[in-house]
Structure 1
């Protein structure tokens, strides 16, 4: 005996409203802007012959070689690939109709001959990531850089280039459409931070129509905070908010001014006013690290360690010796950096021997190590292979840990 079929339950009002809103957005995008999705990109991959050996991923290469290859990629030069690699060609989609008048195009249309802008936006090799922001793009750019760090084995060892392009200050949907058209042509991934909910939703729907993979970077965090606070977000871009200059802003300006004046051991009588003091031999990154920390609001002074020159007495007379940080680095790396620096400055061979000679480099680092040993309150920071941001994060964490002396060190702020 078969059970009687039940009539389908009517859709809930919330689901019906959601479907209605989604349909209205699609109709608005297609009708108002007359968007016609392009044909999907045709991807043809040549199949290697059976005799072609498979290229295995290189898991272990010398660290210095990886840095060298990374610098080569960042400088814009292309590394030669193996001839046995698979060849993949991507044919760009061509929209059947051009966008309506009034749409601001970021790149010249495909009917125009290849221009300088087209070479920048659609490079011939590698994957492409487009970043769209209604503000400065700082959040988006740093999020992408942090994520790309997880693919170093591909970016460096295999020379798999990734080309990122940041579009900041995008404050209307017409400009987004122009970017989407180019993204569809080059097969780019679109990452965006748009505070306006309607603009963000329209962008997501347009990406679906054009077949462009897209991710709203801010949405998960914003939704989670809204749920936690029980308050809806304003949806107003930062550029449109009248935010008065805060005390933190003026503190940062004061910190930058102080740090510039205290560079390279200048004005030692003011060392006690610094929040952080950096000491180390030449080319260990004292100045760039000082400027980066100053932009975070910390007053930083840096003092060079030079053989035959005594450190200023004021450095040892400060009450809080724990705010002094000693910088050290691998001798081979420092030797390479100094050789490049000497070449840039045009030093002759005699001057090079006293600055970038390997024995002299080792002696300077040993001299600095003895000074650090006599001052155990100074934390020692290893600079080898670390970015300025990484080192700054370590210093700030230690600084706050020693300042607040808490069991769980953290960098705390109140909004």
Structure 2
């Protein structure tokens, strides 16, 4: 626990930039920790792993003892060096390496940037060969808390990724990381500097939501309106409002229409989704609205059967009641029925969602949507994406 935080200029500091001087109690001097046994964990499948990567936990704050002597430390080494404990693998799955994400706002930008980057390591994340634990610290607006997070990152041997708009906070994060030997990266800094240079304008240095910034912009209210509309139009509700939608999704059950709709709504698009069910007539308005708004979703039958069976078990549906819903023959008939409807409406792009994340499917939809709005040339409409 940090007993006291002060700021001074060390000999190697940049002029005008406050550098954290960290004071530790004598019992908190860096030392090599006892080797911890690796904890076994269940193998996560691709579907659930994307959620586990965003798990986080609170900082562990030991109780401060005022009676302890305070010893100043100008440059504190890492509590342990990378490679300590090598050769002590007991054959079990290793605990994941930690990634600390620090933001002065919601942390949405940094968290999604890390998630996108982790997508490049699926080949080793699947079998836990390079397990990762991410920890998000949002709303960090004072240097004292920032220093404590950096110090905790040093204890865990973590990497620090941050989005801090205030230059003093960003400098403090960098200087503190250097003092503690924590690898760190400024996620938005290089982009902000490049834009500032291009525009010839100095950035404000204010985080989103800070006093002096109009956080409730027109785009904000547009997103709220889109989300409200999308929720009301879920699963075929209020078909008379389809003309008001920007995008209409259609497909058989469990092709991800609802989560995809919500994701697009958060970007400001009004989305409606219509389920295709054998024996249930589709609303007439679906065929009356401009066909450029409609997108079909399809999926591999084997994957769909697995998803439906899992969904039925989650809802507690008895085996005899879900025979049709998750039976392979019925699943194939369901998809064939949807395929015939798509073939009768060749202007509807059909998107294969089997191996795509929601973000990827949304990117395909928005590319086609904006290409059509700008009347750009498109590949053959009946092509599946």
**Is 1:375–2:345 an aligned residue pair?**
yes
Q: CA deviation at 1:68?
A: 5.9
What is residue 279 of structure 1 aligned with on the other side? Answer: 250
Quote the Cα distance in structure 1 between the aligned partners of 2:160 and 2:186: 9
Q: CA deviation at 1:199?
A: 1.6
Q: CA deviation at 1:239?
A: 2.9
Corresponding residue to 2:279 among 280, 289, 308: 308
Corresponding residue to 2:23 among 21, 24, 34: 34
Quote the Cα distance in structure 2 between the aligned partners of 1:294 and 1:137: 20
Map residues 122-137 of structure 1 onto 2, 5 A cutoff: 125-137=95-107
Corresponding residue to 1:251 among 205, 217, 222: 222
What is residue 70 of structure 1 aligned with on the other side? Answer: 46
User: Aligned with 1:381: secondary structure?
Assistant: strand
C-alpha change, 1:144 and 1:404, in structure 2 (3 Å) is: same
What is residue 187 of structure 1 aligned with on the other side? Answer: 157
What is residue 174 of structure 2 aligned with on the other side? Answer: 204
Q: CA deviation at 1:408?
A: 10
Q: Is residue 106–residue 175 contact of structure 1 (8 Å, CA) maintained in 2?
A: no
Map residues 85-124 of structure 1 onto 2, 5 A cutoff: 106-109=59-62
Q: Is residue 40–residue 211 contact of structure 1 (8 Å, CA) maintained in 2?
A: no
Looking at CA atoms only, which structure, 1 or 2, has the larger radius of gyration? 1
Q: CA deviation at 1:355?
A: 0.6
Corresponding residue to 2:263 among 253, 267, 292: 292
Unaligned runs of 5+ in 2: 1-10, 36-42, 66-92, 380-385
User: Aligned with 1:303: secondary structure?
Assistant: strand
What is residue 89 of structure 2 aligned with on the other side? Answer: none
Q: Is residue 166–residue 205 contact of structure 2 (8 Å, CA) maintained in 1?
A: yes
User: Aligned with 2:209: secondary structure?
Assistant: helix
Pairs aligned (count)? 330
C-alpha change, 1:71 and 1:271, in structure 2 (3 Å) is: closer
Alpha-carbon displacement from aligned partner over 1:376-410 (angstroms, at most 9, x marks no partner):
0000011102111111111111111111113699x
Q: CA deviation at 1:108?
A: 1.4
User: Aligned with 1:130: secondary structure?
Assistant: strand
Quote the Cα distance in structure 1 between the aligned partners of 2:174 and 2:24: 14
Output the TM-score relative to the length of structure 1: 0.73
Unaligned runs of 5+ in 1: 1-18, 45-66, 78-104, 113-122, 410-415
Q: Is residue 193–residue 218 contact of structure 1 (8 Å, CA) maintained in 2?
A: yes
Q: CA deviation at 1:247?
A: 2.2
C-alpha change, 1:408 and 1:311, in structure 2 (3 Å) is: closer
C-alpha change, 1:149 and 1:296, in structure 2 (3 Å) is: same
Quote the Cα distance in structure 2 between the aligned partners of 1:322 and 1:253: 24
Map residues 15-34 of structure 1 onto 2, 5 A cutoff: 22=14, 25=17, 28-30=19-21, 33-34=22-23
C-alpha change, 1:310 and 1:68, in structure 2 (3 Å) is: farther
